[in-house]
Chain A
Amino acid sequence: MEHRKLRIATTSLAGCFGCHMSLLDIDEHLFELVELVEFDRSPLTDIKQCAPCDIGLIEGGVCNAENVHVLREFRRHCKTLIAVGACAINGGLPAQRNHLDLGACLQEVYCYREGLDAPGVPDDPELPLLLDKVHPIHEVVRVDYFIPGCPPSGEAIWKFLTDLIAGRTPRLSYPMLHFD
Chain B
Amino acid sequence: MSRQFLFDGRPVPFEEGQTILQAARAAGHYIPHLCWHPDFPPHGSCKLCVVKVAGRHVSSCALPAREGMEVESNTPEINAERRTLLQMLFVEGNHFCPSCEKSGNCQLQALAYDLEMSAGRFNHFYPDRPVDASHPDVLLDFNRCIFCELCVRASRDVDNKNVFALTGRGIGKHLVVNAESGRLGDTDFAADDLAADICPVGVILKKRVGFAVPIGQRKYDEAPIHTVAMARDE
Chain A contacts to B: CB under 8 angstroms: 83, 86, 89-93, 95-96, 98-99, 133, 135-136, 138-139, 143, 145-148, 150, 171-172, 174, 177-180
Contacts and interface: CB of A to CB of B under 8 A. Distances in A.
Given A150-B98, A177-B113, A90 B120 contact: yes
A179 B99 contact: no
Contacts of B2: none
B126 A138 contact: no
A138 B118 CA distance: 13
A174 B224 contact: yes
Contacts of B95: 90, 179
Contacts of B109: 179
Contact of A146 (B99, B104, B119, B123): B119
A179 B109 CA distance: 8
Given A99-B128, A177-B113, A93 B99 contact: yes
A178 B97 CA distance: 9
Given A92-B96, A92-B98, A93-B98, A177 B116 contact: yes
Contacts of A86: 96-98
A180 B224 contact: no
A89 B117 CA distance: 12
Interface of B: 90-91, 94-100, 103-104, 109, 112-114, 116, 118-121, 123-124, 126, 128, 224
Given A147-B118, A148-B119, A133 B100 contact: no
25 contacts: A86-B96, A90-B124, A92-B96, A92-B98, A93-B98, A96-B94, A96-B99, A98-B128, A133-B126, A136-B120, A139-B123, A139-B124, A146-B118, A146-B119, A147-B118, A148-B118, A148-B119, A150-B98, A171-B116, A174-B113, A174-B114, A177-B116, A179-B103, A179-B109, A180-B100
Contacts of B119: 83, 89-90, 136, 138, 143, 146, 148
A98 B109 CA distance: 22
A180 B103 contact: yes
Contacts of A143: 119
B156 to A, nearest CB: 30
A93 B96 contact: yes
A37 to B, nearest CB: 22
Contacts of B113: 174, 177-179
Smallest CB-CB A-B distances: 10 pairs: A150-B98, A146-B119, A179-B97, A99-B128, A180-B103, A146-B118, A98-B126, A180-B97, A89-B119, A180-B98
Contacts of B121: 138
Contacts of A99: 126, 128
A40 B121 CA distance: 27
B225 to A, nearest CB: 10
B222 to A, nearest CB: 8
Contact of A179 (B112, B128, B224): B112
Nearest to B130: A99
A140 B121 CA distance: 12
Given A89-B119, A96-B99, A172-B118, 17 more contacts: A86-B96, A86-B97, A90-B91, A90-B95, A90-B119, A90-B124, A91-B124, A91-B126, A93-B98, A95-B94, A136-B119, A136-B120, A143-B119, A171-B116, A177-B113, A179-B103, A180-B97
Nearest to B118: A146
A91 to B, nearest CB: 6
Contacts of A174: 113-114, 224
